[in-house]
A and B are shown apart, each in its own frame.
Chain A
């Protein structure tokens, strides 16, 4: 398992804010292309990899992990050389202050500056931060100098490298959702009874967009969404408000804002975990959304489940996960893929009328390089 953890760490160092996932996609593709049967990159930028099944039921399962992360975009360059920006995806203003960032494809270093405490009025010290007043300082002396290095529309990401620390913990940016990407890369090494479509999707953080076109092409009968999710065993949270707990195993979703998952499938996953002594937990809040919401209502409907690694301080440059949760998610997902076709959860699947997958792969002998 050591290898996949190194893969995850490398993935968190890559920049892939929603709409600009190419660096992440290129990295993933360079690793998986030798062990998947075929792949394509669709118009939105989703990477869809195909692994032919050993059975002949014609049933398809889609595995989804979104590649994008939350970040910023430069919207204006001030005359003094400071950059105004917009957030892409959910980032809280208080998280931004004093953070190191990279701007644009060249990765120009910058910092989100703030008035030091010595100069603040007492009213400014109450802890609230106005996102609109924040700027990125790239050390340029004026607009002209700044424009030589960056331009309006450049993406901005947090510039933080992963750190192993504490009791089997990993601290990194973009754990949401490079944990899913790394797990999916690992799972695609296997071959299973059903046809597997591994979808590395784009633009989840801005409205579950990539998953919509990816699932339209695959038209799966079932789908498993691999995610990083909120984790609230953090200060000031009462036990009943905790979403998930770090180190207690991958979390299964029953319901969130976007989806009510398929009951039979979720129960099957839970019983598989119990059977193989893999820890798991249920996510205890119903907030947030996942690609499952988009995939479920595709075609004549898809049976969906969500499996997620709990991530403390999610959507910050320093999200924290327990490595055992990540490893257990992979083990559990693999067991599920191996045993699902014979399970009760899959019983009626062959009676479901789902249009065929758009023929990307089946009739082609070789790989479709894009």
Chain B
């Protein structure tokens, strides 16, 4: 499981450029499901055929990153954000582009004046000495992602892009375990979630499932000085009640709770005050789709070093396996 997580998190895939992640997942699931297709938005849709309900499980492939907007005469790169990037924590971070070019993010003013730390005062240095030299490696419109290796320590994973490759890993593992059910399962790996839940919308339109879950990360409330939230790492995957984009359908939520309690799988209730998930665009697609979510409690979301607990990941897979049988 760790190797799967490592492979998925270390694959390049900012919003709109998810192809490599899709290829990796396609390689893992080919032959294990009945059909694999992509749509115009780049969503990867893997179908396990069945005669029962159509259940859609969605995890987004894209990760946050930066986009090159300008390269100056000296080869310094100006950039904008792809998805939500907290300006303070990206200073000094490394970014890597699709072709492997690495750059460092720095800031125009002195480091003690952080109040005005805005992205348009920052730049990326790729070690180029001129515009010409820089343009050989990076062009306007190219996207970069943060560098952050994947390690396991004390039963926890630290890595970049756990949002939401951990969701992708959960779905891949679930599909490989081939849960026994008559239901038709759609393992959907979506695009462009970080810029507005876009891919899930067209994926859901093409499927029109009876029920859908977003498998994503959620905030927690167990680090010093954070906002109160009744979610802790290691106490089980969460069953979504609401986030900023969706209120979970009561039947979906109840079915998840029943699957967890009947099978003695630990779980927590999730009320996430900030951030949305693919469920937000799925539930208002077509004539409306009952939707909910199962999330992995995650620390330091959108940092280059996010953290999850392996027990939560394993229990999420167990919970979903029971859910799709119902």
Assess A297 versus B70: contact at CB under 8 Å? Given A263-B17, A303-B40: no
- B67 in contact (CB, < 8 A): yes
Q: Does B69 contact A240, Cβ atoms closer than 8 Å?
A: yes
Task: Point out the residues of chain B lying under 8 angstroms from A284, CB to CB.
Answer: 69-70, 140
- The CA-CA distance from A239 to B78 in the complex, in Å, is 10
Whether A352 and B40, one on each chain, are in contact in the complex, defined by CB atoms closer than 8 angstroms, is: yes
Interface residues of B in 73-109 (CB under 8 A from A): 78, 80-82
Establish whether residues A255 and B67, one from each chain, have CB atoms under 8 Å apart when the complex forms.
Answer: yes
CB-defined contacts of A260 to chain B, threshold 8 Å: 15-16, 82, 192, 195
Give chain A residues whose Cβ lies under 8 Å from the Cβ of B78: 240
Q: CA separation between A254 and B67, bound complex, in Å? A: 9
| Contact assessment for B206 and A300 in the assembled complex, using a CB-CB cutoff below 8 Å | yes
Say which size band chain A's interface belongs to.
20 to 34
Question: Once the chains bind, are B16 and A263 in contact (CB under 8 Å)?
Answer: yes
- Is B265 interfacial (CB 8 A cutoff)? no
Task: Assess the B40–A302 pair: CB atoms within 8 A.
Answer: yes
Secondary structure of the B contact surface, majority rule? mixed
CB distance B72 to A239 under 8 Å?
A: yes
Contact of A286 with B by CB under 8 A: yes
Closest beta carbon of chain A to B192's beta carbon, Å: 6
For A300, what are the chain B residues with a Cβ–Cβ distance below 8 Å?
39-41, 202-203, 205-206
Interface string of A288-329 (1 = CB under 8 A from B): 000000001111111100000000000000000000000000
Contact B43 A301 (CB under 8 A): yes
Answer whether residue A75 sits at the interface, using C-beta atoms and an 8 A cutoff: no
Query: 29 A-B residue contacts at CB 8 Å?
Result: A239-B70, A239-B72, A240-B69, A254-B67, A255-B82, A255-B195, A260-B192, A260-B195, A261-B16, A284-B69, A284-B70, A284-B140, A297-B41, A297-B202, A297-B281, A299-B202, A299-B205, A300-B202, A300-B205, A300-B206, A301-B41, A301-B203, A301-B206, A302-B40, A303-B40, A349-B40, A351-B37, A352-B40, A353-B39
> CB distance B67 to A296 under 8 Å?
no
Contact B39 A352 (CB under 8 A): yes
Q: Does A285 contact B (CB under 8 A)?
A: yes
Complex CA distance for A120 and B116, rounded to whole angstroms: 34
Q: How far is the CB of A229 from chain B (nearest CB, A)?
A: 14
Bound complex: CA of A83 vs CA of B37, how far in Å? 58
User: Is the beta-carbon distance between A286 and B41 smaller than 8 angstroms?
Assistant: no
Q: Which residues of B contact A262 (CB under 8 A)?
A: 40
Query: Among the interface residues A241, A266, A299, A300, which one has the most CB atoms of the partner chain B within 10 A?
Result: A300
Contact with A along B184-227 (1 / 0, CB 8 A): 00000000100100110111011000000000000000000000
Contact residues, B11-46 vs A (CB, 8 A): 15-17, 37-41, 43
The smallest beta-carbon distance between B222 and chain A, in angstroms, is 34
Do A282 and B206 touch (CB < 8 A)? no
Give Cα A262 to B40, complex, Å: 9
Residue on A nearest B141 in the bound complex, by CB: A254
Shortest CB-to-CB span from A295 to chain B, Å, is 11
Please give, as numbers and ranges, the residues of chain B lying within 8 Å of A266 by CB-CB distance: 141
Give Cα A284 to B199, complex, Å. 24
Q: Confirm or deny: A221 has a beta carbon within 8 angstroms of a beta carbon on chain B.
A: yes
Contact A286 B141, beta carbon cutoff 8 Å: no
How distant is the Cα of A303 from the Cα of B38 in the complex, in angstroms?
13
A240-259 contact mask (Cβ, 8 Å, vs B): 1 or 0: 11100000000000110000
Name the contact of B80 in the complex, choosing from A221, A285, A303 (C-beta under 8 A).
A285
CB neighbours (8 Å) of B201 from chain A are 297
Q: Is B120 an interface residue (CB 8 A)?
A: yes
Q: Knowing A255-B82, A260-B195, A301-B202 touch, does A282 contact B41 (C-beta < 8 A)?
A: no
Q: How far is the CB of A265 from chain B (nearest CB, A)?
A: 10
Cα of A303 to Cα of B199 in the assembled complex, Å: 12
B40 touches A221 (CB 8 A): yes
Q: Are A241 and B120 in contact (CB under 8 A)?
A: yes
| Additional A-B contact list (12), CB under 8 Å, known A260-B195, A301-B40 | A240-B69, A260-B192, A282-B141, A286-B67, A286-B69, A297-B41, A297-B281, A299-B202, A300-B203, A301-B199, A301-B203, A348-B38
Residues of A within 8 A of B140 (CB): 254, 282, 284
What CA separation (Å) do A260 and B78 show in the bound complex? 18
B195: which A residues are within 8 A, CB to CB? 255, 260
Q: How far is the CA of A298 from the CA of B281 in the complex (A)?
A: 12
Docked complex Cα distance between A266 and B15 (Å): 16
- Report the separation of the CA atoms of residues A17 and B198 in the bound assembly, to the nearest whole angstrom: 29
- Hey, which chain B residues are within 8 Å of A349, CB to CB? 40
B22 nearest CB across to chain A (Å): 13
